[in-house]
Amino acid sequence: MNRQILLTPGPTPIPPESLQAESLPIIHHRTAEFVELFNETQENLKYVFQTREKVFTLMSSGTGGMECAVVNLVSPGDKVIVTACGVFGERWVKILNVFGANVVALRTEWGVTVKAAELEKALKDHPDAKAVFTTLTDTSTATACDILGYGKAVSKTPAILVVDAISGLAGQEMYMDEWQVDAVITASQKGLMTAPGLGFISVSPKGWAAVQASKSPRFYWDLRAIEKSSHDGETPFTPAVSLIRAVNASLKLIRKKGLPQVFQQARDLAKFTREEGGKLGLGLFAKDPCDVLTAFVLPEGVNGGALIKQIVKKTGISMAGGQEKLKGRIVRIAHMGYIQKADIEKGIRALSENLAEMRAAAARP
């Protein structure tokens, strides 16, 4: 049986230290031992977010964190701007519409980021906008957004900047405070090298004013209650104790390595992946590619879904296909977190062999 290798952009491989931490005997969450763990995790999260603000732990997927951001930062009827260059920019639009926001969507061709100048113009055209929602890296298209440029544009206005960094944090360069980002959301199963189940959100003082002003209904996601409990090193409701242990172990590894080295590793693996894919004649889908994963455009006649199923069946290597209108058209390979160069080498070899088989089959009369 082939050893399973995850080259998917979430879940990603988990380091032994994190697996070991998650397997420890459970402890009660209202004890001094848990408070110590929770507070240590908080400090390690601040380092990865690059913020002085608290980072709140949510028992959810990344999408739960996105909804948490919306209900805490936006009231029904508020005008908001969304930059959308893929599925996850559109997810912001969907969530905001559900909660009654007045959405102004800045849409581009998928794979092309909205330029900071375009956002700046939209802010001038809509001076009553309360917030800008965007993505650090849109996983569906492997596209990077200009968060530094967005921060400069939004900081000149009363609006707040909200960033989905679910696939990008601890891989794609971003510094929450320095880049003037008002809210950052992420999840445990990507760059943080932990099993799915935890979401995280941090909010700036400017963003916190929006939390206090929001009239959206909220109970489980109420950041005011979550913040109050955090003073005692606790959560308002039962936390995922074992996952918090695990993510803290992974965060320690990130701190030990150092964020500059983490960012450089992602860039190096991105370069290697793209060079190797280029040798197979595969071009990039994204015009503004990110560092944490690569989307390759597949040749005519090759179905991406069938290709990915064949690769995992034959080799145990998992890759990701396209979503929505890109289904069957692209293959996505992650190079974030605990993914190693040797894993990508095996993945590219499997891609090469199975592509050749499919091309040959398609060429037969």
d(CA 221, CA 226): 8
Backbone torsions φ then ψ of 106, nearest 5 degrees: -95, 100
Mean pLDDT of the chain: 97
Fold of 5-11+258-363: Aspartate Aminotransferase, domain 1 (3.90.1150)
**Is residue 317 classed as helix, strand or coil in its secondary structure?**
strand
d(CA 70, CA 238): 23
pLDDT at 301: 85
CATH 3.40.640.10 maps onto the chain at 16-256
pLDDT at 358: 87
DSSP annotation of 114 reads P
**How are beta strands 55-58 and 283-284 bridged, if at all?**
unpaired
The two tokens of residue 255 are 């701190």
Amino acid identity for residue 344 in this structure: I
Per-residue pLDDT of 171-217, as tens digits, reads 999 999 999 999 999 999 999 999 999 999 999 999 999 999 999 99
Q: Which of 266, 290, 287, 231 is nearest to 344 (CA)?
A: 266
- What is the distance of C-alpha 361 from the center of its chain? 37
Total-model pTM: 0.97
pLDDT at 173: 99
CB 248 within 8 A of CB 37: yes
- Read off the pLDDT of each residue in 295-321 and give the average, rounded to a whole number: 95
pLDDT of 1 above 50: no
d(CA 149, CA 119): 9
d(CA 162, CA 63): 14
CB 213 within 8 A of CB 75: yes
Per-residue pLDDT of 104-127, as tens digits, reads 999 999 999 999 999 999 999 999
Per-residue pLDDT of 324-337, as tens digits, reads 999 999 999 999 99
pLDDT at 300: 87
d(CA 321, CA 331): 5
pLDDT of 2 above 90: no
User: What is the H or E stretch that residue 230 is in?
Assistant: helix 223-230
CATH 3.90.1150.10 maps onto the chain at 5-11+258-363
- Read off the pLDDT of each residue in 150-178 and give the average, rounded to a whole number: 99
Per-residue pLDDT of 218-268, as tens digits, reads 999 999 999 999 999 999 999 999 999 999 999 999 999 999 999 999 999
The two tokens of residue 365 are 């009369």
d(CA 136, CA 149): 12
Domain 16-256 has CATH 3.40.50.1700: no
